[in-house]
Amino acid sequence: MAIDVIMPPLSQTLSTMVLVRWLKEVGETVAKGEPLFVVESDKATLDVESPADGVLGQIIACPGTEVAVRSTIGVIVTA
């Protein structure tokens, strides 16, 4: 099963954020609640946690990209 990794709405006023970097590579195991990627808003840089246990199966948004809030930026594959 595939779980979408979504750019979270960290503020009601922001419609986009910058994806700073992924903390895991495609093919690496991730655990729910573990930091998965880093985003930058207009005020802070924040670690965002994995939404599920599994393997990072796909990265859709590249570091340095401005990404719309609630858009899919990656995929986690679960057993």
Tell me the per-residue pLDDT of 7-33, one tens digit each, with 9 for 90 and over. 998 878 889 999 999 999 999 999 999
Residue pLDDT, tens place only, 36-46: 999 998 888 99
Q: Cβ contacts of residue 42 below 8 Å, gap of 6+?
A: 14
Report the distance separating Cα 28 and Cα 16, nearest Å: 27
pLDDT score for 41: 85
% of the chain exceeding 70 in pLDDT: 100
pLDDT score for 55: 98
